[in-house]
Structure 1
Amino acid sequence: MARKPKPPVPPEILAGFRILERFLEVLRPLDERRTKDPRELDPRRKFDAKGYFVMMLFTLLNPVIGSMRGLCAASKSRRFAEGTGLPPVSLGSFSEAQAVFDPEILRGVLRELLSRGGDDLPAELRGKLGGTAVEAIDSTVWEAVGRMEWACWRDQYSTTQKAVRLHLRWRIFGPGCGGAQITPGRECERRVLRHDLLEAGVMYVGDRNYSGDYGLLRRIGEIGADFIVRLQDKSVIHELEKLPISAKEKAAGITHHVRVALGGRGAKDEGWRLVRIQRPGGENVMILTNVAVERLSATEICEIYRQRWKIEGFFRWLKCVLPCRHWLAEGPRGVAVQVYCALIAALLLAAHNGRLPGKRAMEGIRLWMLGWLDDDELAAWPGIAKKG
């Protein structure tokens, strides 16, 4: 008996992994509207910004290429030209590109992808928070090579202690990047948040480092945003008013719920709340927020803070599963392009089924890109099929 033909693979199964095509779909209108560097308009130039960004993204998704030389060599192959539509690229042209093409356009791509993805707030929070986006704030560092003199870290004059820092706003309820900034490793997280990443209508969830700057916390409230941060143990606390704690909240480990003022003499009532929760191991965690008790209960504040770990999980995914490790460029612009492309790759991959692909799923995607899996085999690969 003849074998029954397999049903065709649904187009939506594979559409989520045609990363380069989907990236260009978002990039093109932004590229057409931007003001270009005069060097880009040279009629002799064949290698444009779109080509540079596509090559960066291609390298992040390809398991074979791990260097600029390998990438430029691959660009001379027929299959690379057919798949990307790019001309062969020399080492000199690729190296020069980091000084010519502005990575700012990629931040626009991140914002566009965020607007398309939305935020999967739980139903009970959606009614209370309305359109407020809940985002974890943190940073992570990558080791840099000694030649990257701009990437100062612990010792400004050391040739070995070089690092690049990614400052990130990451959506807690559903993958999404609310903002990102690339700086030298020694750059302060709080300074970058204050000057580059603050935005109204966002609830920022941060670790205890952010609670060390009361001026920053006031600024967050002044622009119409909210914060939930872990309070440092050394903080000077003035209890102004005890707030009620329900039996359910006590059972969850909440021991204190008070309105507080922070600082030494002259501490002002900012309307901030302090929630202290005792973890199962006996550790006491103090959580500070400017969110009114009418909007979120003490239990909900603690639960939102508990979800902050998701940004740590994303950093691990970015470094270990994608991974973004080897630098294809060494200037600040080129490094920013590579890291922004890694974030874009994460959002495009997560758009398929609402979550980042795990290690096994990434293996299937890369084998498919290499031609070792056909469409049916990719659709059946573990972690690829959509939920539900």
Structure 2
Amino acid sequence: MDKFTRKTSFEQWFSPISTDLVEELVKASRLNYYTKKLHMASFMRLLLFAQLHETESLRALSDCVFSEELQNATNLNSISFSQLGRRLNQIPTEFFQTIFLDLVAQIHEKTDFQNRRKMTTPPKIIDSSTLPLNLNNHRWAKFRKTKSGIKLHLRLVFMEKGCSYPDKAVLTNAVEHDRGQLEVLVDDKECMYVFDRGYLDYERFDRMTDEGYFFVSRLRKNAVIRLIEPFELAENSPVLSDEMVVIGTTQNRPENVFRLIKVLDTKGNELQLLTNRFDLSADEIAELYKSRWAIELFFKWMKQHLNIKKFYGQSEQAVHNQVYIAMIVYCLNVLAQLNTKSKRTYLQISRYLKAALWKSAHIWLRKIQENSVP
């Protein structure tokens, strides 16, 4: 990042969002046609500001425009909450999804992800999290008698030193089962997919193996297993056993053989890990599965520090738009860390940003670059 800039910290932070891409998307969907006041550039900045400050409603966001600094940043003197609501409902989710994917591509480039794939098979973690909704306002998302909700199915690129980031997302009603999303989230043969037993699907595991995709998953305790051949364990290995097995009953059995590794978790419970990767050691497979904690931390961080507890709109489109805006904010924090080679956490970067939001960008950049990697 340019250390000497006249931009505010807020402008510097969201600068990775491509102006050309936004204009192209706006033009393609005719989003500024017949718009006298709330153009997409202004609306995007308002939504990013709302996420940073965890603004609880569109009415509260409308009141925030009273701030002279926010007026300068958005080119708005005032805006009603009803105008904000209509705009949020009108914008196709593909608009925010495309911006999110463009930021992911920038992160790939900054982390040299393509070269990493040539040298190894980096893990991608798959999991989902349910985001609860108000049943009275969101009946389209009803999944139990008294509950509504949507499910965020996510694929997370795991990297060491805490730099993990989402690179693909699917939003469905909470009633949808996780297994159905494997077809969408598994699309790269040069990666290792890590997921929990919620995605257990013998038929899909067979197809993944036949098509050249690698995975490690947790197996249910009551799974039917037939031993083919035990493998020798390394000396002092924490792994309990390592075996080649056939899984499933006669009626429901994959054609391929798999590898079953038994380990103990931190609480002393036995875990059965299933994989189709035979060239790695049992210890390496166990470590790969441990990387799954990163997606749990991501969901926890997202729910605690991004504004997806209260949704601004009642329509499916408005809810999905808000989730994508939250992930855009997360990606901007990742890029801020990468661009400055900062050792600050995403939370620290966000806190310093809020403290210096309307000050010159170099003040924020200097703070997050303290003790940075040379």
TM-score, shorter chain, exceeding 0.5: yes
Q: TM-score, normalised by structure 1?
A: 0.80
Which residue matches 1:175? 164
Q: Any stretches of 5+ residues in structure 1 without a counterpart?
A: 1-8
Q: Equivalent residues in 2 for 1:49-128 (5 A)? A: 49-62=40-53, 65-75=55-65, 77-86=67-76, 88-118=78-108, 126=116
1:357 is aligned to 2:349: no
Q: Which has the higher contact order (CA 8 A, sep 6+)?
A: 2
Give the conservation status (yes or no) of the 8 Å contact 1:230–1:286.
yes
Distance 2:122 2:313 in 1: 33
Which residue matches 1:343? 327
Which residue matches 1:3? none
Give the conservation status (yes or no) of the 8 Å contact 1:76–1:89.
no
Cα RMSD after superposing both structures: 3.3
Which residue matches 2:247? 262
Shift of 1:97: 1.9
Give the conservation status (yes or no) of the 8 Å contact 2:10–2:357.
no
Q: Equivalent residues in 2 for 1:214-229 (5 A)? A: 214-229=202-217
1:130 is aligned to 2:119: yes
Which residue matches 1:286? 272
Distance 1:204 1:356 in 2: 28
1:210 is aligned to 2:199: yes
What is the identity, as a one-letter code, of the residue corresponding to 1:57? L
Distance 1:374 1:111 in 2: 25
1:366 is aligned to 2:359: no
Distance 1:41 1:362 in 2: 30
Shift of 1:83: 1.1
Return 307-316 or 233-242, whichever deviates more. Answer: 233-242
Q: Any stretches of 5+ residues in structure 2 without a counterpart?
A: none
Shift of 1:11: 4.4
Call closer, same or farther: CA 1:68–1:231 in 2, change over 3 Å. same
Give the conservation status (yes or no) of the 8 Å contact 1:349–1:356.
no
1:233 is aligned to 2:221: yes
Give the conservation status (yes or no) of the 8 Å contact 1:175–1:347.
no
Shift of 1:17: 6.2
Q: TM-score, normalised by structure 2?
A: 0.83
Call closer, same or farther: CA 1:220–1:34 in 2, change over 3 Å. farther
Identity of aligned residues (%): 22
Give the conservation status (yes or no) of the 8 Å contact 1:59–1:71.
yes
Give the conservation status (yes or no) of the 8 Å contact 1:317–1:323.
no
Distance 1:116 1:244 in 2: 43
Give the conservation status (yes or no) of the 8 Å contact 2:143–2:175.
yes
Which residue matches 2:17? 24
Which residue matches 1:307? 291
Shift of 1:20: 5.7
Deviations 1:214-249 (A, max 9, x none): 1232343355422111111111112222223222xx
